[in-house]
Structure 1
Amino acid sequence: MVSTHVQTKLSKLMSKILRHAPLKFGLLLDSVDGSCEVADLLQVIRGQSGWSELSLPDLEEVVERCEKQRFEIIGGRIRARYGHSHDKVSYPADVPPMVLYHGTNAQAALMILEQGLRPMQRQYVHLSEGLHFATLAGKRRGELVILNIDTVKASRAGIKFYYAGNEVWLADAVPAEFCSILSIERESGRSE
């Protein structure tokens, strides 16, 4: 079992490799689902300074324990679930829960309520089924604002939602009329 500090470092390295720069590390990902053989990723990581002793169980532990569930292993292949900055990974359209949530900050919330949710430097807008992941995403941006996304109305208007696993949903964009403020958490931790 690796320490929490090592898990965090490994998770960041895996994100860099699988989400942002696979070719820089000599790793070719499947063009459809963004996956590669777990053994190939392990070999690439072992080639990085300080990781030569990394074991398969250590890597699997990071996949399992990652709080945001950024990775998944299926049939000996691993991929980042979302957030890729290379080839767009596709997901089948699916029917989401009636409401999804998006965590952000006060300044961005004002812009979202005017212009809608856009993916910015990501491939998709990230939404969550519950408040836990929305809070995790939004807290790192300052004053936390949780937005409700009315998926019923959005779906009727033709917006497609894609399930990425572990309560995370994706959309290409969500127009402002389907977004509203659920709560605001001031820096003191007080909610409104």
Structure 2
Amino acid sequence: MKNAQERQRLSKMMTKMLRHAPDEFGLRLDPADGSCQADALLNALMRLPSWAGVTMEDIAEVVRACEKQRFELRDGRIRARYGHSYERVAYEAAPPPAILYHGTNRKALAQIKQDGLRAMGRQYVHLSEGKSFAELAGRRRGELVMLRVDTAQAAQAGVTFYRAGNEVWLADHVPADVLNEDGP
């Protein structure tokens, strides 16, 4: 890719194709992990007039450069690690670290304190091992509020955690009483 702006445009298109609307582009994702052949993604992109000149190296560059590590490219297959809205991708349950983080915005905090963390339009609630990924997500829509999840307490309340890879964890719902605001 020639520049960061083009990488971002391609990342957004790959997100749409791999997380939200694969059928729209003729992609068939493996229901076990949400992956498809990388060549199938490349061919689907090349059928779009604005992406006719895209290469496999461009795709690999987007995967490498993505700060939130949204994609995984391995053994000729590519997938979005998390954030799917079109269909529920299965993840294996795993024991999480003692604390996970969720970044949100100040406007959402009152509702979260009442209902806990819900998946909203996604398939899972997204959590992070470290604050950096949570901050990236939380800063997008206003004043950042960092929430700390006590995973032992959440597990006692029946929450199952799924490892999505690279510090990202998923859950179906996280009750409000296992959440605490994390100070500055």
Task: Trace 1:178-189 onto structure 2 (pairs within 5 A).
Answer: 178-183=178-183
Once the two structures are aligned, what percentage of the paired residues are identical? 55
> Aligned residue pairs: how many?
184
Q: Which amino acid aligns with 1:179?
A: L
Amino acid at match of 2:121: Q
The residue identity in structure 2 corresponding to 1:125 is: V
Q: Is the 8 A contact 2:31 2:90 kept in 1?
A: no
Gaps of 5+ in 2: none
Match of 2:109 in 1: 109
Once the two structures are superposed, the pairs formed by residues 116-155 of structure 1 within 5 Å of their partners are 116-155=116-155
Distance 1:2 1:71 in 2: 20
- Aligned CA-pair RMSD: 1.0
In the other structure, the counterpart of 1:97 is 97
**Offset at 1:158?**
2.0
Q: Does the 8 Å contact 2:149/2:180 carry over to 1?
A: yes
Match in the other structure for 1:188? none
- Counterparts of residues 9-28 of structure 1 (less than 5 Å): 9-28=9-28
Aligned to 1:94, the other structure's residue is in SS state coil
Amino acid at match of 1:98: A
Higher helix share: 2
2:160 corresponds to which residue? 160
Aligned to 1:187: none
Paired residue secondary structure (1:50) = helix
> How big is the shift at 1:157?
2.4
Q: Are 2:74 and 1:70 equivalent residues in the alignment?
A: no
- TM-score normalised according to structure 2 size: 0.97
* In structure 2, distance between residues paired with 1:169 and 1:24: 28
- Which whole-Å CA distance do the structure 2 matches of 1:22 and 1:72 have between them? 16
